[in-house]
Chains A and B, each alone.
Chain A
Amino acid sequence: MSIERFAGALLLLLGVAAHPLPAQNAAEVDKGRQLFLGMCSRCHGAEGGGGEGPSLNRSLTRATDDQALRTIIQEGIPDRGMPRTRRLSNGELSAMAAYVRSLGRHAEVAGQGNAEKGKAVYQRLGCASCHVIAGQGGILGPELTNIGVRRAPGYLRQAILDPAAVLPRGGTDVPGRGFNEYLPVRIVTREGREVNGLRVNEDSFSIQVRDAGSQLYSFQKADLQKLDKEFGKSLMPDYKTRAADADLDDLVAYLASLGGAK
């Protein structure tokens, strides 16, 4: 069953009337879909199901009305890593907004896991040794306080199973938009001292690194014998074999609930 048909069935089960779209609007939505595929799907998923960016087929808390939605499409949400779009014509902007709104008409597909149980899994697996939620936890990995509104469940699952496959791309000023965050680096100084850690920031002449013990280092690149940026690696262990499937579902449901996401 495709997601759409599944959603349709769910709508019927829930007794929600699916409003058929007027023809004129349907053409607009179709045009918006094409624009969305080109510019938005990389983060928000092909059908707005989310990925590195949040899913959009849910109630959009920031885009409460059409004007807010158009503003977000145009200006992005810089502090969340969403760039502004290219300059869209009014027609294109309307089409894009119409498409995003049409996503909102799908019913939300409930995850299979149980968030309450997931919280216990989070504690049992020791996730808090490297991640902060609501001020509590270790700082080696990304903060997860609002992760449910930033990432879609599918992305979270992937990040747990195979963290190295997708490092988060920076959306903030440090280390800079588009840079891989939490990038492992291996450094050997000219004196032969070895440092392994995560890149905190970098410019053409220097690099700042934090190691597993939270020690901060700053190096001039000219003083290094070796600087390996280990793209495709992560300091986080993968949980392919460390967690049972059911636990994983629960954990994803828990993370997806963080930050007020429903």
Chain B
Amino acid sequence: MRIERLRAWICAGVCLALSGGAVMAQVPYRRIAGAESDPSTWVTYSGNYQAQRFSLLDQINRQNVAQLKPTWMYQMRHPGIVETSPIVVDGVMYLTEPPSTATALDVRTGRPLWTYTPKIPSDVIVIGSPPVNRGVAVLDDLVFFGTVNCHLIALDAKTGIVRWDTMVDDNKKGYYVTSAPLAIDGRIIIGISGAETGIRGFLDAYDPKTGKRLWRTYTVPAPGEPGRETWGGDSWQHGGGSTWVTGSYDPDLHLLYWGTGNPGPDWNDDVRPGDNLYTCSLLAIDPANGKIKWHFQFTPHDVHDWDATEIPVLFDAEVQGRRRKVVSMANRNGFYYLLDRATGEFLTAVPYVKQNWTDGLDAKGRPFARRDADPKAEGTLVYPAITGSANWYSPSYSPKTRLFYHAARQMAGIYFKGDAEYKDGTAYTGGGGDTKNGDEASGAILAWEASSGKLRWEFKLLTPPWAGLLSTAGGLVFGGTEEGNFFALDAENGKPLWQLQLGGRVAANPVSFAIDGKQQVAIAAGSSLFVFGLP
């Protein structure tokens, strides 16, 4: 091509871009909302807005999964726990690396296309979790991710150049970001961590184009707001209620579903009598204005750090004889819950691990919590442990089997009550805990009927897992272990079909996509990201 003609082409491209960004947009909202129409991509954190972590691809299936081979690997540039869940679209994989790096890889080869690491102050405050990052969101031509110093950053998807960088809140008070943002129509939704430092939790929405905040919804009500009466004294000011795991979205009902974390201080509840709304709850939020349409509190007045920051999974099912739009959650407190996602009505809940903190639930799902399970100075043995029977990592729902797959942690904890003094940016936990680990703990991949919680099968794991699950139309469930096994089970009966030792702890969520028409499965383990395909 002659130089003149090339110039003309470039000019035409630039002019087109300047005249209307939408024309050039890579990943418009409708492409995310219709994720099912192109299963070769993985366009949002959980694969679709329903947060099902299910792939419609079926090239890799029961018959051939044993032949899986590495396609490529990528090694992270910084040490740290890798909890990232990649996004794959238009030949590019976007992932995050610990603690706050965003990177784009050529999906065919794993070669980096760009990487961006913001300046993180050396005195950054990260209390309550390791400094991890679980991934990015994409919308139009931009890639969005949060940082440990509590910024939300938008990068140009093609180059990694910063389009905007907004401070979400003050890291000096303990706010930080570990979760992937959620991109919806004209909104970037981001949750925060920090409920171990006495923050007042919130969920934010930002304008994708400018980084301007559109709304903030506090998860702990101030004086004059409904729910304030559930906090004794001034305790609401440092009431916690973080929002540190990416929620789900129903475009038809136009509602966001987002889980909230523990009340502060975690284990010493002396200063916060009451239910402590809206901690350890699921919130249904109108994305237009941030208004809370309904809430359901799984663990009122929590004293065990059982955040409800698990993935709210959406599906439609017949529950107790009636067709429902359902939101489900395998909660950290040991129960699997089904709610009507239009109204928040409690439908049912079943325990899926050993628990000894409540004498069951009432007809509205409220636990009869046993006060003898409260933390004590000398320690109280309680099932589940502080890290819960579930945690941030994702479950999976298969519309094909209508089973809900969950990596369950079966472990007891010893809960201690201690001093709680609030001081900006320091731990405000009031105690802590130990776990009964080693041979005293175990894990399992559980498959239960999503509409009832009835157990269908169980695959035992040596230790409590910290890795999410992916189910596929190929009839498979992929997962990982603490000891570094990446494995595939038969989605119908839990039979192990393939596994490979990856040499490092698996503490991430699997995803699936296609390269040039060939299905791949990706997972991070240790400090590497692995992509597998058929030979």
**Cα separation A38 to B431 with both chains bound (whole Å):** 11
Inter-subunit contact B439/A205 (CB<8 Å): no
Most buried by A among B418, B421, B429, B432: B418
Q: How far is the CA of A179 from the CA of B438 in the complex (A)?
A: 4
* CB–CB A176/B463 < 8 A: yes
- Check B379 against A39 for contact (C-beta < 8 Å): yes
CB contacts (< 8 Å) of B463 on chain A: these are 176, 204
With the chains together, A39 CA to B432 CA distance in Å? 10
Report yes or no: B377 in contact with A204, Cβ–Cβ below 8 A.
no
Complex Cα–Cα for A179 and B484 (A) = 17
- Size category, B interface: 35 or more
Contact of B378 among A37, A85, A169, A177 (CB under 8 A): A37
| Residues of B that sit less than 8 Å from A by CB | 127, 196, 376-379, 414, 416, 418-421, 427, 429, 431-434, 436-441, 460-463, 481, 483-485, 487, 496, 499, 501
How far is the CB of A10 from the nearest CB of chain B, in Å? 30
Which A-B residue pairs are the 7 nearest by beta carbons? A86-B432, A178-B438, A203-B483, A178-B437, A179-B438, A89-B419, A38-B379
Verify if A142 is at the interface (C-beta below 8 Å from B): no
Cα–Cα, bound, A83→B434 (Å): 9
- A39-B438 contact, Cβ under 8 Å, with A86-B433, A203-B501: no
Nearest A-chain residue to B459, judged by Cβ? A204
Q: Knowing A203-B501, A205-B487 touch, does A88 contact B418 (C-beta < 8 A)?
A: yes
Given contacts A180-B439, A204-B462, contact A92 B483 (CB under 8 A): no
B438 touches A180 (CB 8 A): yes
Interface pair B485/A204, CB less than 8 Å apart: yes
Q: Point out the residues of chain A lying under 8 angstroms from B419, CB to CB.
A: 89, 91-92
Quote the shortest CB–CB distance from B12 to chain A (angstroms). Answer: 57
Are A203 and B481 in contact, with the CB atoms below 8 A?
yes
In the complex, per-residue mask of A78-110: 1 if CB is within 8 Å of any chain B CB, else 0: 000001011111011000000000000000000
A159 in contact (CB, < 8 A)? no
Assembled-state Cα–Cα distance A206/B416 (Å): 36
* Chain B positions within 8 Å of A37 at CB level: 378
Once bound together, how far apart are the Cα atoms of A39 and B267, in whole Å?
15
Number of A interface residues, CB 8 Å?
29
Picked from A38, A92, A204, the residue with its CB within 8 Å of the CB of B461 is A204
A173-185 interface mask toward B, CB cutoff 8 Å, 1 = contact, 0 = none? 0001111100100
- Collect the chain B residues with CB atoms within 8 Å of residue A38's CB: 376-379, 414, 416
| A170-208 contacts to B (CB < 8 Å) | 170, 176-180, 183, 202-206
* A132: chain B residues within 8 A (beta carbon): none
Query: How many Å from the CB of A159 to the closest CB on chain B?
Result: 18
Question: Which of A85, A86, A88, A203 touches B484 (beta carbons < 8 Å)?
Answer: A203
Interface of A is mostly: loop
Give the CA-CA distance A136 to B427 in the complex, in Å. 48
> Is A72 on the interface with B (CB-CB < 8 A)?
no
B496 and A170 within 8 A (CB): no
Kindly provide the distance from the CB of A227 to the nearest chain B CB, expressed in whole angstroms: 12
Q: Supply 18 further A-B pairs (C-beta < 8 A) apart from A38-B377, A202-B483, A203-B462.
A: A35-B377, A38-B378, A38-B414, A39-B379, A87-B127, A176-B463, A177-B438, A180-B438, A180-B439, A183-B439, A202-B462, A204-B462, A204-B487, A205-B485, A205-B487, A206-B501, A222-B496, A229-B439
**Is A170's CB under 8 angstroms from B438's CB?**
yes
Least CB distance, B422 to chain A, in whole angstroms? 11
Report Cα–Cα, A83/B441, bound state, in Å.
17
Task: Write the nearest CB–CB distance from A101 to chain B, whole angstroms.
Answer: 20
Interface status of A71 (Cβ within 8 A of chain B) = no
Task: Say whether A231 faces chain B, with CB atoms less than 8 Å apart.
Answer: yes
List 7 interface pairs A-B (beta carbons < 8 Å), by A numbering.
Answer: A35-B377, A35-B418, A38-B377, A178-B438, A183-B439, A206-B501, A222-B496
**Which single member of B416, B487, B496 contacts A86 (CB below 8 Å)?**
B416
Bound complex: CA of A206 vs CA of B418, how far in Å? 41
**A34 contacts the other chain (Cβ, under 8 Å)?**
yes
CA distance A173 to B46 in the complex (A): 32
Chain A residues with CB below 8 A from B431, complex form: 86
* CB pair B379 A204 closer than 8 Å: no
Q: Is the CB of A86 within 8 A of B499?
A: no
- Of chain B, the residue at the smallest CB distance from A34 is B377
The answer on a CB contact under 8 Å between B437 and A34 is no
Distance in angstroms between the alpha carbons of A37 and B377 in the assembled complex: 9
Q: A83: which B residues are within 8 A, CB to CB?
A: 434
**Chain A residue, CB-CB nearest to B479:** A204
Most chain B Cβ neighbours within 10 Å, of A39, A86, A178, A204: A204
Residues of A within 8 A of B485 (CB): 203-205
Of all chain A residues, the one with the shortest Cβ separation from B416 is A38
Contacts of A88 in B (CB 8 A): 418, 432
CB distance from A233 to the nearest CB of B (A): 13
Residue of A nearest to B196 (CB): A87
